[in-house]
Amino acid sequence: MPGAETGSAQGSAGIDLPLASGFDLNNAAFFIAPFRYATFERCLDSDVAERLLLWFESTAPWHHVETDFYEQHEFSCWDSAAPEAASLTSEDLLGALRAEMTRLFGCHFRPDVSVVAHRLVPGHRIGIHNDYLVGQETHRFVVQLNRGLSDPDGGFFMLFSSSDAADVHKVIRPASLSALAFEISPSSYHAISQMHGNVRYSIVFSFYASTD
C-alpha cells in the first residue's frame, strides 16, 4: 500500500518473565508533525507476544463495543484476574513505559495508567478522531499483536494532518510486535481502516501528564 510503513509479522500459560523484560524501548523513531508521535518497529519479544496472543484467542474477557464512529471488542486489563493481565498492569512494566514516555515527550506522568486490549475483526473499524478531552488521557502507547496481517486484511493505523479524512499524513501497517506512541491533542487526528480479514489485536496504554 503506497505510503505504508513496512514491518515483519511474528507469530494459556502465564508469563514467566517480568513483562518489562520482554519490551525493547530503544528503537524509537520520533516525529513532531502533524503532532508528536514515535514509532517502534519491534518493541516486544516474540515469546511474550505468543503468550499474550494465546490468551487473547482463548479466555480473554472480550466484550463488544459499537458507537457512531467505531466498532471493536475490548476489555480493561485492570478488570481481569488472569496472570497475563497482571503482567500488563505490573508496576515493573508500567514504570518502564512511563519512563520512556517521559524521555520521548519531555513530561512527567501520574501513576495511574489505563491498560485496555482491543480486538478488531472483519467489518470493524475506527473512524477519524483525536481522543482529546480536557482532564483525560494525554498520551498513549499502542502495541500491535497479530498472526500476520496482509495489506488486503486492512486495519491500518492512519495519521491525519487535520480532521479531513482526505488529509492523510501517514499510513502505518499493523505489524505484529510494533508500537506507536503519541501525544493526545486537538490536532492528534487518527483512525484505523476497516478490517477485511484476519484479526487485529492491540494493547493500549493511556497515560496522564502530571500537572505538578
Which of 74, 115, 69, 123 lies closest to 91 in space, CA to CA?
115
Planar angle of CA 203, 126, 181, nearest 5 degrees: 40
- Residues 162 and 168: their CA atoms lie apart, in Å, by 8
Using one digit for the tens of pLDDT, what is the confidence trace for 155-196?
999 999 999 999 999 999 999 999 999 999 999 999 999 999
Residues in a beta bridge with 203:
117, 143
Site of grid cell 518473565: 17
Task: Please report the pLDDT score of residue 201 as a whole number.
Answer: 98
Residues above pLDDT 90, as percent of the chain = 84
Instruction: List domains and CATH numbers for the chain.
Output: 19-74+81-172+185-207 (2.60.120.620)
